[in-house]
Amino acid sequence: MEKKFSVYSQRESFIGKLAFKAHSFAAQVFLLLMTGVIGIEVLFRHVFGGGFTWSQEVCELSFFLLVFLCQANTWQEDRHIRMDIFYNMFPAEIKKITDLLTIICATILYGLLAWQGLSEIKYQVAINESTMELQLPMWPFSLTMVFSCIVLLILLLRFLLVVWTDKSKQGVS
Amino acid sequence: MAEVGGYGLVFMMVLLLLGVPVTFALGSVAIVGLSIATDMSSVLQQLVMVATQTGTNFVLLCIPLFIFMGKMVFHTGIASNLFDCVEKWLGRIHGGLLVSSIVTCGLFGAITGSSSASVATMAGILRPELKRYKYDDGLSAGAIASAGTLAILIPPSAGFIFYGVLTDTSVGRLFLAGVIPGIISMFFYCFYCWFRCRLNPSLGPIGPRYSWKERILSLKGTWGLILLFGTVIGGIYGGLFTPTEASGVGVIGVLFISGIQKKLTWKATRDALIDTGYVAAMIYGIILTGYLMARFLAVTGASKALVDLVAQWQLTPYVFLLVVGIIYIILGTMLDMFGLLILTIPFFFPIVHYFGLDPVWFGVFAVIMSEIGLLSPPVGVNVFVMHDAAPDIPMASIFKGVFPYMIMSIFLIVLITIFPKIVLWLPNMMIN
């Protein structure tokens, strides 16, 4: 089947590729990891008479990493739900306004998440905050969240500055 | 303070109508609104706290796993034996192939929570057969696109998990609550196809005759999917594992069966994994911002104002449900199931409590209404998936084909409203 890229796709750029690679890595590693850990937990509980206390934590942390590492690429590929029936009918000028509003709204959400995430990291490092079961330090997870938000913010900004002003650079196929 | 909530809602609707993604519109309005109603530092702390809590929600992670399971069944094509078997048993009645395809979709729904995966899989398998026996295009495309919606009523259902997480309702009870309405829907759809083809046999001829030996032998090809269904659903209700564990076991089962049938390839697995990544990120985004929106409505008093307004109007529960139904039908023309649920549940749920309606019952009501949205033009996700699989059938014919099924779903809504026990009997009987 012919591969279609969304109008927001910036796969030709470094940051667009990075977003896709992060998505691809997270989906292939963490979904299989969650499946494997759940399988081992169920097997050990029912066959060997006892499960592991850490299995749920591993799945939860994997899910956290998965959903954040996929955020930027999901926007880039226009896979977030939206009422695009009106958008598709709008003239180019209104579409630009919508795109601008999308960027502002996403910046408020992900920008503040990244901002607060950064200050949380300082705090987590200072008090050596760790997970309940495996005692893993929390800051790498917060750092992944901040990293993913920043990748998305750069994609949004790049779309605003480069792609939005030059239609020929849009990844429409 | 409720005015802040009111303005926020109006602004959110404007953003949504302009085409801003639901996640971004809900999130930004909730954050700005909460910062006006409270203070910025507490909003920032809440934001990270909700993001972390939602991102580490053990129940929520079964949505991507069930969807991955459905996508693997689609990419590896292991469901084709299921149709062969059903067709050998039911193919000899009027419109037999269509009846078989609806029953197969229902059974397929029992191993995946994804409606579009169900339509994509079944359309790929059934379309050549329906064409070979000269079935009417509109009728057959409509039947497959509509029967795909059975996947979100028959457990495991992504819609019920989503609603359960959002409203803190038992996913196990919701799964059981969907079984009888799902079977009734399947019966309605089959009866409609049979009746149309009986009145006008040219729409769908009677299929070939098979001996009892052939029928019994056809059961052999379905062992894998029957085992999968038995393990997932039997495991949940037999107390062997939670719905989340069942989703992981289901994925292992699909990998195992497709491996044995030599249909497992790395490309199929990789495509399914990457596709699932999109769904996981999208669902996480809307649940995160849905929680923020619910907090915004609570803090500004908008939820209470809404309930007070309903109380002031002295609406009866039936009138409330009628209004809700109309809103779902309108929004369903523009949004898919997850978007529809996230935009409506934070507003309707406090009113559901006010009227004393059972949250499990309302969950089934909301999911059936969202199911109608999957079929209604111009968005109708299932119709687009069907059109992708059968591009020779015009979109208008498919939309025309699904219309009777939408009416049947509305009839089902009326039925469960008059007789709520259709929904509540099974969960009440099995889970005290």
Interface of B with A in 40-59 (CB under 8 A): 44-45, 47-48, 51-52, 55-58
Distances (CA, A) of A81 to B19, B238, B301, B350, B430: 9, 36, 27, 25, 36
Residue predicted with more confidence, B219 or A4: B219
Q: Which chain A residue lies closest to B282 (C-alpha atoms)?
A: A80
Tokens 């739900």, residue located: A81
Taking 80 as the threshold, does the pLDDT of residue B111 lie above it?
Answer: no
The pLDDT value given to residue B48: 94
B-chain residues near A68 (CB < 8 A): 55
| DSSP designation for B122 | H
The pLDDT value given to residue B100: 86
Strand partners, A130: A137
Q: Is B270 on the interface with A (CB under 8 A)?
A: yes
pLDDT tens, residue by residue, B318-341: 999 998 988 888 888 777 788 888
Mean pLDDT of chain A: 88
The pLDDT value given to residue A1: 41
A23/B55 touch (CB, cutoff 8 Å), yes or no: no
Strand partners, A143: none
The pLDDT value given to residue B243: 86
Task: Give the integer Cα–Cα distance in Å for B6 and B300.
Answer: 9
Three-state SS at A137: strand
Tell me the mean pLDDT in the region B168-181. Answer: 91
The answer to whether B249 and B63 are in contact (CB under 8 A) is no
Tokens representing B407 are: 């009416």
Task: Please tell me whether the peptide bond between B156 and the residue prior to it is cis, using omega within 30 degrees of 0.
Answer: yes
pLDDT tens, residue by residue, B47-92: 999 999 989 988 888 888 988 888 888 777 777 778 888 888 888 8
pLDDT tens, residue by residue, A81-106: 887 778 888 888 888 889 999 999 99
The answer to whether A69 and A16 are in contact (CB under 8 A) is no
Nearest CB to A74 within list B25, B64, B282: B282
Residue predicted with more confidence, B212 or B127: B212
Q: Which of B270, B284, B30 is nearest to A68 (CA)?
A: B284
Contacts of B260 (CB under 8 A, 6+ apart): B224
| DSSP designation for B155 | S
Q: Which of B63, B364, B62 is nearest to B241 (CA)?
A: B62
Taking 50 as the threshold, does the pLDDT of residue A172 lie above it?
Answer: no
The answer to whether A23 and A70 are in contact (CB under 8 A) is yes
For an interface test with A, give the residue of B15, B16, B24, B29 to mutate (most A CBs within 10 A). Answer: B24
Distances (CA, A) of B210 to B83, B84, B177, B201, B217: 14, 11, 36, 20, 11
CA distance A147 to chain B (A): 14
Strand partners, A137: A130
Tokens representing B324 are: 């809700």
Task: Give the integer Cα–Cα distance in Å for B316 and B355.
Answer: 8
The pLDDT value given to residue A173: 33
Task: Give the integer Cα–Cα distance in Å for B83 and B103.
Answer: 9
CA distance A119 to chain B (A): 10
Give, to the nearest 10 degrees, the angle between helix B266-300 and helix B158-167. 30
CA distance A168 to chain B (A): 22
Taking 60 as the threshold, does the pLDDT of residue A167 lie above it?
Answer: no
A-chain residues near B22 (CB < 8 A): 80-82
Taking 60 as the threshold, does the pLDDT of residue A171 lie above it?
Answer: no
Can you list the pairs that B33-38 forms with residues at least 24 positions away whose Cβ atoms lie under 8 Å? B33/B4, B33/B5, B33/B8, B33/B296, B33/B300, B34/B292, B34/B295, B34/B296, B34/B299, B36/B4, B37/B1, B37/B4, B37/B296, B37/B299, B37/B300, B38/B299
Q: What is the ipTM of this complex?
A: 0.92
Instruction: Rank A162-171, B162-171, B296-305 by mean pLDDT and report only the highest.
Output: B162-171
Distances (CA, A) of A36 to A33, A106, A161, B174, B253: 5, 34, 43, 27, 12
Q: Which chain B residue lies closest to A61 (C-alpha atoms)?
A: B56
Tokens 């509980």, residue located: A45
The pLDDT value given to residue A2: 44
pLDDT tens, residue by residue, B114-161: 777 778 877 877 777 788 788 888 888 889 889 888 888 888 888 898
The pLDDT value given to residue A4: 56
A-chain residues near B252 (CB < 8 A): 35, 39
Q: Which chain B residue lies closest to A96 (C-alpha atoms)?
A: B18
Three-state SS at A130: strand
| DSSP designation for B219 | G
Task: Give the integer Cα–Cα distance in Å for B157 and A78.
Answer: 24
Nearest CB to B248 within list A39, A66, A145: A39
Taking 50 as the threshold, does the pLDDT of residue A108 lie above it?
Answer: yes
Can you list the pairs that B406-411 forms with residues at least 24 positions away whose Cβ atoms lie under 8 Å? B406/B146, B406/B372, B406/B375, B406/B376, B408/B185, B408/B188, B408/B189, B408/B192, B409/B149, B409/B185, B409/B368, B409/B371, B409/B372, B409/B375, B410/B325, B410/B372, B411/B188
The answer to whether B407 and B161 are in contact (CB under 8 A) is no
What are the residue ranges spanned by the domains of chain B? 1-56+283-300, 57-264+301-431
Residue predicted with more confidence, B220 or A22: A22
Mean pLDDT of chain B: 87
The pLDDT value given to residue A31: 96
CA distance B36 to chain A (A): 14
Distances (CA, A) of B26 to B3, B23, B289: 17, 5, 6
Tokens representing A89 are: 């009918």
Rg (CA), chain A: 20
A109/B52 touch (CB, cutoff 8 Å), yes or no: no
Nearest CB to A31 within list B15, B47, B64: B64
pLDDT tens, residue by residue, A19-65: 999 999 999 999 999 999 999 999 999 888 888 889 999 999 999 99
Element (DSSP H or E) covering residue B141 = helix B137-147
